[in-house]
Amino acid sequence: MNLEKWLHPTAGKRFIFFLLADILLSLFTLYSAYLLRFNFHIPPKYLDHFWLIYTVLTALKIAAMAWRGQYRIVWRFFGLGDVRRVLEAHIVAYGLFGIVLYFFRSDFLPFPRSVFIIDFFLSFLLLSGLRMAKRVLMESGIRGGYKPTLIVGTGGGGPAVIKAVTQAESAYKPEAIVAWKDPGLEGSRIENLRIYAPDRLEELIGRYRIHTVIVAEELEAKELNRLIERLENLGVREIKKIRLLGEGKERLEEIPIEELLARRPKDLDREAIGAFLQGKRILITGAGGSIGSEICRQCLAYGAKRLILVENSEYNLYRISEELEKDRIVPRLVSVLDRERLEEVFKAEHPDVVIHAAAFKHVPLCELNPDTAIENNILGAMNVIDLSIRYGVEKVVNISSDKAVRPTNVMGATKRIIELYAQNVPNDRTEIVSVRFGNVLGSSGSVVPKFKAQIEAGGPVTVTHPEMTRYFMLIPEACQLVLQAAAMAQGGELFILDMGEPVKIVDLARKMIRLYGKEGEVDIVYTGLRPGEKLYEELLINDAECKTRYESIYVAGRSNYPIEKLRADIRHLLEAKDKRVLLKEIVPEYTPSQRCI
C-alpha cells in the first residue's frame, strides 16, 4: 500500500480521527475529574458505576458534537466560532446527562456532582484544545506544504471559494480577500477573512508571500487579462478560478484560455436570429462536429421546430443526438458525398433552412490527402447546394474559412471554390450565403486542446513558427454570428465575421503554460511550418468589403464566375491527376506551399 496515499487527509479519515480522539479524551477527562475530586485517592465504591457513566455521557457528547458539525471541520481552519460550537455541544450533552441522572438516579449513585462539573470543564478544554492545537501546528509550519492563497472577488463565488479551498484535500490556505469590483467593502469580513481594496493587491502578495490567486468574480476578457498580467508581474505562480457546479458544489480549476480570448459580440441581435429560426425545419450537415453541434444547440434554443442532423461519423452523430431533445431531432447517418441517400433525406424532411458545416478542415491532412479533401469539400458542398435548390429550401448557409483568402493549401482552395459556386449557381427561390471566419477555440482541430495535453504531460509544447499568428473566436460566438448573418442575408452574399486582433500562437502557448503554473517547467519547441500552412491568415481577398448594420459582420464584394465554366472546371478538377494545377486555374490567387507533399 502507498503510505503517502494512506496518510493523505480525507473527510472519512478526519471523521474517524476526531471520533476516536473524543472517545479516548472523554475517558481521560472523566477519570481525571474523579482523581481531582478525591485528591488522587478514589474510594472503590465511586468506581462501581464508572463505565456506565462514561458510556452514557460519551455517547451524548459525541451526538452533540456531531450535531454541531465538529466531525466535519477542517482542523487547520478551526477558529473561535468552532470553539463556541464545542461549548454548545457540551452544554447540551451535559444537560441531557443531568436529565438522565434525575430520572435514573439509582443506576448511577454514588456519583459526586462536583465530578460532573470538573469533567465538563476538562472535556471542553481538551476537545476544543485538540482541534485548536492542530491549527497552531499547521500555522507554525510543523506540517507545511499548503499554498498561501489570495481570493480576488467578493461576488457569488467568494464564500464558495473559501469552502472549496478549506476542504481536507485542498492544498490552499486563504489569507485575505480583495474586493475587485467593490472596494467599499474594505474592512469587512467573509468567513473570518478580511477584505481589502484592489490597491492593496501588491502589499498583500508580499506580506503573505502569496503563491496562488483564486478569481471568484466574473470578469470580462480584457479585465481578466489585465489582472493576470499584473499578478504575473508580482510573481504569483498559480492563478485559478472557482467553478460553481450547482447544488452547493464547486470546483477549483485553471482559467480556460478561451476566457482570456473571448469577445462578446457588441451587437448580437437575438431577436433577428429568433425570427429567422422560429418554427423552421433546419438541416445541418456535419451536425456532430465542433461547429455543427453548437449550431444544433443554438437552433433549438432559438425555437427551431425540427433539426435534421446529417453526419457521416456514427460516434459524432450518437453524441450530439444523446445531448439534444429527442422529439425535435432526426438523426441521419449520411455522407454528403452520397447524393442518392442525401436526396432521400431532403425528399422526406423538406427542410426550410440548410446549414452546411460538413468539411475536412485539418490543413496538413488535406495536403497529404488532396484527392479526398477536394472530393469531400467541393463535391459534397455542391450536392448540398444543388439539392437545396431542387427541393425549394428557403436559405442555404455555407460555412467557409479565412483559409479561403489567398490560399496556400488545398483546404483553403476548396473553400474558395465553394464560395464561388454559392455566389454564381442559378436559383429562383433559394437564398445562398457563405460566412467566412477564422479559427475557433476548443474545436477538434484547435491548438488549445493540443497545448493543454502537452502541458499536462510535462511538455514540450510544440509551435510551428515563432511568428505564426491566427484569428480566434469562441465556438458559441462564431455560431451566433453565423446565424445572425444568415438572418440578414438576401442571397449571394459572402459575409465575413470580425475576428478582432490576430493572436501569436507562441504567445498563446506561453499564456497557457503560465495559467497552468508551469512557467519554467514546460519548454516551447519550434517544429517548422507544416505542409500548406501560412504564417498569417487573412479574412479579405481585397478591400472591397462593406459594413453591414452590425459592427461584427462585413460583406465582401461579389465574385463573378460563369457557372457552366465553373461546373466544367470542377468536373475536370475531380478527374485530374495533378489537382493542384487545376485548383490554381479556378482560384488564381492559390499559391501551393513549397512544403506540399
Catalytic residues: 403
The span from the CA of 362 to the CA of 414, in Å, is: 12
Count of alpha carbons within 13 angstroms of residue 446, beta-carbon side: 22
Alpha helices (runs of H) in 370-409, residue ranges in sequence order: 370-374, 380-390
Give me the sign of the Cα torsion angle 100, 101, 107, 113. positive
Q: Which three cell numbers stand for residue 421?
A: 459556386
CB 435 within 8 A of CB 482: yes
Contacts of 551 (CB under 8 A, 6+ apart): 266, 267, 498
The span from the CA of 38 to the CA of 436, in Å, is: 92
Beta-bridge mates of residue 87: none
DSSP structure string for 500-543: -S-EEHHHHHHHHHHHTT-TTTS-EEE--PPTT--SS--S-SSS
CB atoms within 10 A of CB 167: 15
Distances (CA, A) of 15 to 11, 40, 71, 98, 146: 6, 34, 5, 27, 21
CA 422 to chain centre: 36
The span from the CA of 224 to the CA of 261, in Å, is: 10
CB 243 within 8 A of CB 251: yes
Cell numbers 517544429: residue: 527
